[in-house]
Amino acid sequence: MAPTSMAQALNAALRDAIAEDERVMVFGEDVGRLGGVFRITDGLQASFGEDRCFDTPLAESGIAGFAVGMAMSGFRPVVEMQFDAFAFPAFEQVVSHIAKMRNRTRGAVGLPIVIRVPFAGGIGGVEHHCDSSEAYYAHTPGLKVVAPATAADAYSMLREAIDDPDPVVFLEAKKLYWSKQDIELPTTTEPIGRAAIRRPGRDATLIAYGPTVPLAVSAAEAAEEEGWDVQVVDARSLVPFDDETIAEAVRATGRCVVLQEAPGFAGVAAEIAARVQERCFHSLASPVLRVAGFDVPYPPPKLEHVHLPGVDRVLDALARLQWDDQPDTKWLDGVRNQEDAA
């Protein structure tokens, strides 16, 4: 076991994937000699040559469209978009082609492309460097969308994403790149599509993914002082989504808050809240609440701390879960659990 940062885990995953599968090609802007601006591709070109890890011209639609052709020719492109917002020029290629090619061709042409996107904020970046773009991708059928929150997941899920026959948008929380975990690589965690309980708890469930997972854990720890025993679920994978684990978790606690960094309106947390209340309505003691970024453009560095959800905002939301009402309806719980499960 060694303390391993998420960045190191991702680098190791790319390295192992290149070594084990000759179809894997890593390309994008500055991924070669520089090793990427976050150094996730560090040393790959030196180890495996320009054939396997190379710089492209500076054009994201180009990178995505080129990846489509490479995949059609049998390769497994792993492309890096330098920051969330710089993937936007590739939006048409991602939505109109990458997401749809298998479907258009009745399964004859799958596109095993991984689009790595350093996502979300909290790193003091100037404008356009801290957007959260997961909702755009999660709303697009044909894409898988995952967001690891631990170094072990980063390694395991990236390996799995590269092996996946379908395109995967792989969201790497920028602010977690340097967070460490004691692990041994290679490692295999739960498969894509499964959520993970990061902390047990009986009173309320926090659902998080990517950068909000450590936040949820901190908030849950802080909530102990209030006497609340808070469970934390890491969704891990947005598409496919683990309804089973998550609905079961919420049914057990009867209270739920969903966390995301992205602006709240029509974000992934809205989807999670909508699903959870659809599936757990009768087990719920209070509405499913959301704690998200405000519905504003990502602010400048000096204001990001007020924009991004923090422990206090999560605690406020937990406090609004109508704890006082609980006794009134507790008697209904048995009935409700049965109804939801049906």
Ligand X SMILES: Cc1ncc(C[n+]2csc(CCOP(=O)(O)OP(=O)(O)O)c2C)c(N)n1
Which sequence positions are flagged as catalytic?
129
34 touches, from other proteins, its own copies, ligand X, none (C-beta below 5 to 8 Å by class):
other proteins
**72 touches other proteins by CB under 8 A:** yes
Rounded alpha-carbon distances, angstroms, from residue 99 to 32, 171, 325? 27, 16, 45
51 touches, from its own copies, ligand X, other proteins, none (C-beta below 5 to 8 Å by class):
other proteins
**83 touches its own copies by CB under 8 A:** no
Among positions 131-170, residues that touch other proteins (CB under 8 A) are 141-142, 144, 165-166
We find the least distance from the C-beta atom of residue 73 to its own copies, in angstroms, to be: 23
**51 touches other proteins by CB under 8 A:** yes
Q: Which of 6, 11, 29, 131 binds ligand X (CB under 6 A)?
A: 29
Q: Please give the Cα distance from 32 to 25 (Å, whole number).
A: 12
**Residue window 30-69: x/- pattern of binding to ligand X, with contact defined by CB under 6 A:** ----------------------------x-----------
**327 touches other proteins by CB under 8 A:** no
Q: Which stretch binds other proteins (CB under 8 A): 118-126, 171-179, 223-231, 281-289?
A: 118-126
Q: Please give the Cα distance from 23 to 291 (Å, whole number).
A: 41
Nearer CB in complex with ligand X: 86/323: 86
Pairing between β-strand 114-119 and β-strand 76-80 as defined by DSSP bridges:
parallel
Q: Which of 188, 226, 325, 341 binds its own copies (CB under 8 A)?
A: 325
Contacts of 107 (CB under 8 A, 6+ apart): none
List the 168-173 sheet strands across, edge first.
53-55, 24-28, 76-80, 114-119, 168-173, 144-146, 237-239
254 touches, from ligand X, its own copies, other proteins, none (C-beta below 5 to 8 Å by class):
none
**86 touches ligand X by CB under 6 A:** yes
**Helices 6-20 and 151-163, interaxial angle, to 10°?**
30
CB 255 within 8 A of CB 202: no
Question: Cβ of 284: how many Cβ atoms within 10 Å?
Answer: 22
**186 touches other proteins by CB under 8 A:** no
**Residue window 205-234: x/- pattern of binding to other proteins, with contact defined by CB under 8 A:** ------------------------------
**Dihedral (CA of 35, 38, 41, 47) sign:** positive
**228 touches its own copies by CB under 8 A:** no
Could you give phi then psi for residue 147, rounded to 5 degrees?
-145, 90
Pairing between β-strand 168-173 and β-strand 114-119 as defined by DSSP bridges:
parallel
We find the least distance from the C-beta atom of residue 128 to ligand X, in angstroms, to be: 7
